[in-house]
Chain A
Amino acid sequence: MTTLEAALGRHVVVTGHGASPAAAAWRRLVASPAARAGLVIVVAVLLVAIVTPAVHVYDASTDADLTLRLKPPTGAHPFGTDSLGRDILVRVLHATRVSLGLALSAVALAMAIGSALGFLAGYFRGHVDLALMFCMDILLAFPATLLAIAIVAMIGPGLRNSLFAISLVSVPVYARLSRGAALALREQEFVLAAQGLGCSAARVLLSHIVPNSLPPLIVQTTLSIAFAILEGAALGFLGLGAQPPAPEWGAMLADSYKFFTSGAWWVFFFPGAAIMLSVLGFNLLGDGLRDALDPRLGRE
């Protein structure tokens, strides 16, 4: 029976050239230059986030040397120093972990909650579906950034609260997406067969519906990370995210954009570039994944 199920389960996944679907998708992904670039950036950013704290100890609370204030980039400070004489390179690198950690955890949380709700709604339909989707529609009715600001304003500023706010505003997308997938799959023969063979609802959901809905969710996750980085930076910029003196890209931008008029370009350029680069990376990768995981492309 397991073999049968497995065979049925694989039924919708298109295999190309005899390779496993994952391998085929990977080949399609790396074939695209844009996706390759995205992949390189994402891996690099992830490495920075992981390696920096391991090789360099940074205590933001004592980091200030007013005698080194606003020094342009030099050998000693490749990105220059900020208005408190702090090395911008050090802060941008350490902020990577903060910004990325925030984005990844927010998205993971949103995906877990959102897709669970979506699968339940899509599979069981009826009142559950109605109630859940009604809530999701309400959340979707607000512009995401505004809603995140409102939530943080209510529960108070801080990294943990902004994580919560960002993930909450991302939940409806996952709920909608996974509900759609569940709706399409629940009428498929292999699902009906599994039900006919007496599988429990949990088993049908976990072994058949969830694995087969993963591709769109993976694409959405990658794109969501880019959105979450931006959102995190926006909250930080407004002073609602990371609290001073913790390094965070958005907060660093907020502290430094006023130097636009006095010509100290490096203070805002590097945090801004970090945000741009990481968002670009995740967006390119997301686009590439979407193409690579699209079953219609695979059939050709």
Chain B
Amino acid sequence: MRLATFTSLVALALLGAVAPAPAQTFVFGAQGEPVQFDPAVITDGISSRITRQVFDGLVKYKGATTEVEGALAEKWEVSPDGRVWTFRLRPNVKFHDGTPLDAAAVVWNFERWWKASHPQHDNQVKAGQTFEYWEAQFGGFDDQSIVSAVEAVGSHTVRVTLKEPQAPFLANLAMFVFDIASPKAVERWGTDFGKHPVGTGAYRFVEWKPNQEVILEANPDFWGPKAKVKRVVVRNIKDNSQRLGALKAGEIHGMEGLNPDDVAVVKGDANLQLLLRPTNTTGYIAFNYKVKEFQDKRVRQAFAHAINKRAIVDALYGGTGMVASQFQPPALWGYNRELKDFEYSPSKAQALLREAGRGQGLSEITWDDGKKEPLIFWYMSRSRPYFPNPKEIAEAMAADLAKAGIKTQLQTTEWAVYLDKRKNGQVPLYMLGWTGDNGDPDNFLCYFFCQPGAAREGFYTNKPLADVLLRAQKLTTLADRAKLYRQAEQMLHDDVGRLFIANNQPPLAFAKRVRGYVPHPTGSEYFNTVELQ
């Protein structure tokens, strides 16, 4: 009797202690493990989901668009020649470690990204981490960079001078990689800063339990709209089906990485809701131009006619995909609406192969150095936004190709190895894709085609195309630039440089009680607008 009373008292006490707390934790299911949380050196979406909450950039994308609005910079002006940008910082903003966000801190961050000799740049590179995006967006480091000076011209004013105008400059700065870190914290932790991130964001970092979850808590001093949910947990659940199971069971409130066939499941579940990211992603097949057969345009055209993209998109994208005719997704302002895609026609494909002297079909390839091997078609082992189920899509495409007389052997490998092989130009025929970072056509086209003959692009060489793209980068009027990007798409199409397969609107699934999650085309979303009802 006494024991029973005691137990119930304990139970009551426990209930009393636990009851008020739990309501305000938002749990999100992620597809994998983050790499680290130093925004300047990461490139992957799983890590940047966390850094977006912890850090802010000078500017950010507005709502669900890629229009740029102020963040840490309240306002800015640009000189008439487009070379000098002056940013006025928001006053009274503090990093999570209490140090002030001022012009000096911003300049310090720029120098860290830009100057190879900066101690906090140098040590990262020595530890094997590179400032990849800075290099890609701003032309390189030190003297190679398009940036020629970054100065503090007052306690809260920063001036950035460029060697020549760069049209997508602001859009670039809004990317997650150029979020501002606390100089004090970076200096304290060095290369370990990625495990102890300190920024100005709506959430501050609490804990990273490897292979389990990352915990964040609301920053009460945030300069913008304060987080509605006090605590965020991002849980790593690798398997798509298992993650959906966790969502259905109420263990998590939201998730990305839905199997295409589960889109209908989510739609049909009264407790769940489906959100789509605006389309900003394109999946493609790339040729390696060191393969002699692929140097023949008719062979490439045969591939283009052989693949039934419509059937693949209809069957394998769960209703969220679209057939792609060019690299840019239709929502981008450089999209070429006049471009006429290759029609699906196995007979045309066969005719083209015959014309190219390969009437007996194609199953073996010859590398530039004379080495012969079976034609291997590489597909990625991991679901990507543009190819949600790469193996199925690869098998469907390989069957289409086989029906036209092109016999491929499908092969895959671990994702990091896959990217490495592609970077070194070792794969003859492969699937890959791109998700836009900043809403500028430059980010789609120039990254791939501005350096003719690059190994990572399968040694594809199209000098006129590169010239058009580089010209478009320097113009400042949108209409003029759009014209050039449309022209570039047509050139790429006429040369069959790549085979563009599909665009997708990556689906996200949430419990019905989640409100205010705004899917963003770049795939990184802010959690401070999220509410639980």
Contact = CB atoms under 8 A, between A and B. Distances in A.
Contacts of A67: 311, 315
Tell me what chain A mostly uses at the interface: helix, strand, loop, or mixed. Answer: loop
A100 B488 CA distance: 54
B412 A61 contact: no
Interface in B380-423: 381, 389, 391-392, 394-396, 398-400, 402-403, 407, 409-412
B265 A245 contact: no
Contact of B391 (A61, A85, A244): A244
B245 interface: yes
A197 to B, nearest CB: 58
Question: Which one of A61, A70, A85, A264 has the greatest number of beta carbons of chain B within 10 Å?
Answer: A61
Interface in B479-517: none
Interface stretch (B256-264, B284-292, B446-454): B256-264
B67 interface: no
A260 interface: yes
A248 to B, nearest CB: 13
Contacts of A83: 261, 316, 389, 392
Interface string B110-135: 00000000000000000000000000
Contacts of A239: 381, 412
Interface residues of B, number: 32
A244 B395 contact: yes
Nearest to A69: B315
Interface string A255-291: 1011111111000000000000000000000000000
A62 B402 contact: yes
B84 interface: no
A66 interface: yes
B241 interface: yes
A270 to B, nearest CB: 18
B402 A255 contact: no
Contacts of B312: 66
B262 A261 contact: yes
B410 A244 contact: yes
B316 A66 contact: yes
B390 to A, nearest CB: 11
Contact of A62 (B240, B241, B308, B403): B403
A261 B245 contact: yes
Contacts of A70: 261
B244 interface: yes
A230 B25 CA distance: 43
Contact of A262 (B245, B265, B314, B400): B265
A245 B316 contact: no
Given A66-B315, A67-B311, A262 B410 contact: no
A61 B311 contact: no
Contact of B394 (A69, A244, A260, A261): A244
B265 A261 contact: yes
A257 B241 contact: yes
Tell me what chain B mostly uses at the interface: helix, strand, loop, or mixed. Answer: helix
B362 to A, nearest CB: 13
A84 B403 contact: no
A38 B156 CA distance: 82
Nearest to B312: A66
Contacts of A255: 391-392
A150 to B, nearest CB: 14
A261 B411 contact: no
A64 interface: yes
Given A61-B407, A66-B315, A66-B316, A258 B399 contact: no
Nearest to A59: B402
B265 A258 contact: no
Contacts of A20: none
B262 A262 contact: yes
Interface string A39-78: 0000000000000000000000111101101100000000
A188 interface: no
Nearest to A70: B261
Interface in A224-271: 239, 243-245, 255, 257-264
A255 B381 CA distance: 12
A255 B394 CA distance: 13
A64 B381 contact: no
A261 B241 contact: yes
Contacts of B316: 66, 83
Nearest to B383: A258
Interface of B: 240-241, 244-245, 259, 261-262, 264-265, 308, 311-312, 314-316, 381, 389, 391-392, 394-396, 398-400, 402-403, 407, 409-412
Per CB-CB distance, the 6 closest pairs between chain A and chain B, nearest first, are: A64-B399, A66-B315, A262-B261, A61-B402, A62-B402, A66-B311
23 contacts: A61-B402, A62-B402, A62-B403, A63-B399, A66-B311, A66-B315, A67-B311, A157-B411, A239-B381, A243-B411, A244-B391, A244-B398, A244-B410, A245-B399, A258-B240, A258-B241, A259-B261, A261-B241, A261-B244, A261-B245, A262-B262, A262-B264, A263-B265
